[in-house]
């Protein structure tokens, strides 16, 4: 069930405002894969999710634009008293987090670094594949992060611009998705990768189809799962971050455009329960 709440300011929602939320944002709704992982690992936390659906997608846009959008949303989340910010978007993690994290007043965590760490842990033959948006792959951010952890690793990267549109149409087990996936994956598989980073928060929704093509010899690294683990570690380790067990499990979602689009597909696929859904203009 989704309670739609277009008018009420967030500070007037029924949730206990003494409980600072974990702020999570994405260009759209794909970052809900990170929310699902966070809820499994941190079931007592309140999560405030922003989907920038008025400007989605980020995956083909420049570092300058993506950084501007990410700064506006981070400022919004800090104004909503987020105790930490999870950038649940690989493109923003690659292009904006390096600029924004050092000056952020709360910890700001991307999905990229946890994914790179997990990939390096997973690989045996030191051949890792990465799939992502054009912007993520174009930035070489995964390649740099992985090779800074282990310079012996060979990284093969492929931009997969058609996957997000196919996923947003709910075509998870479709002939077209199969053909497109094989085109993207087969050249990397021919290079003998044993680990594949799903470098876009949409991609875990295609996990089964991707695993079928890759076969059991390739380990899929889900950046959503690994990011949630990193958040759990941060909350456990940092005393300055309020990490008390509040038992305030709730999920408030703000979208920047009133077209819900892919929201229903994602919520159903991820088995999420939304407490409130609001629409706000962020960054004009």
By the criterion CB under 8 A, which residues form the site for its own copies? Answer: 53-56, 60-62, 64-65, 134-135, 161-162, 165-166, 168-169, 175-176, 179-180, 256-259, 261, 283-284
15 catalytic? Reply is no
The single residue of 89, 160, 214, 227 carrying the catalytic annotation is 89
Q: Which of 201, 173, 213 is nearest to 266 (CA)?
A: 201
89 included as an active-site residue: yes
C-alpha to C-alpha distance for 277 and 37, rounded to whole angstroms: 20
CA distance 180 to 163: 8
CB 138 within 8 A of CB 247: no
CB of 259 vs its own copies, minimal distance in Å: 5
CB of 157: closest distance to its own copies in angstroms?
A: 17
State the Cα–Cα distance between residues 21 and 85, nearest whole angstrom: 9
Tokens representing residue 85 in the block = 């910010």
**Of 160, 200, 214, 227, catalytic:** 200
Closest to its own copies by CB, 98 vs 261, is 261
Nearer to its own copies, 105 or 284 (CB): 284
Of 20 and 137, the one with the shorter C-beta distance to its own copies is 137
- Please give the C-alpha separations between residue 5 and each of 44, 77, 78, 277, 279, in angstroms, as whole numbers: 23, 18, 21, 6, 8
Q: Which residue, 43 or 60, has its beta carbon nearer to its own copies? A: 60
CB of 74 to its own copies, least distance (A): 16
Q: Which residues are catalytic?
A: 89, 200
């Amino acid at each position: 069930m989704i309670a739609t709440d277009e008018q009420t300011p967030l500070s007037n929602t029924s949730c206990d405002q003494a409980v600072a939320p974990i702020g999570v944002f994405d260009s759209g709704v794909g970052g809900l894969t990170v929310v699902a992982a966070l809820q499994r690992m941190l079931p007592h936390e309140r999560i405030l999710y922003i989907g920038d659906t008025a400007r989605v997608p980020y995956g083909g846009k420049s570092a300058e634009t993506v950084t501007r959008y990410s700064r506006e949303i981070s400022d919004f989340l800090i104004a909503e008293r987020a105790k930490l910010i999870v950038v649940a978007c690989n493109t923003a993690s690659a292009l904006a987090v390096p600029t924004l994290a050092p000056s952020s007043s709360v910890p700001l965590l991307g999905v990229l670094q946890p994914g790179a760490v997990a990939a390096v842990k997973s690989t045996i033959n030191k051949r890792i594949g990465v799939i992502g948006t054009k912007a993520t792959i174009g930035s070489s951010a995964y390649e740099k992060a992985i090779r800074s952890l282990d310079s012996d690793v060979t990284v093969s990267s492929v931009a997969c611009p058609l996957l997000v549109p196919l996923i947003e149409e709910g075509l998870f087990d479709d002939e077209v998705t199969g053909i497109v996936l094989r085109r993207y994956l087969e050249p990397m598989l021919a290079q003998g990768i044993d680990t594949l980073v799903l470098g876009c928060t949409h991609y875990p929704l295609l996990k089964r189809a991707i695993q079928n093509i890759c076969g059991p010899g390739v380990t899929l690294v889900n950046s959503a799962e690994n990011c949630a683990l990193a958040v759990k570690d941060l909350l456990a380790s940092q005393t300055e971050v309020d990490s008390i067990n509040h038992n305030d499990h709730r999920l408030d979602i703000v979208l920047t455009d009133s077209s819900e689009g892919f929201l229903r597909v994602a919520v159903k696929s991820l088995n999420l329960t939304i407490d409130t859904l609001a629409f706000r203009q962020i960054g004009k």
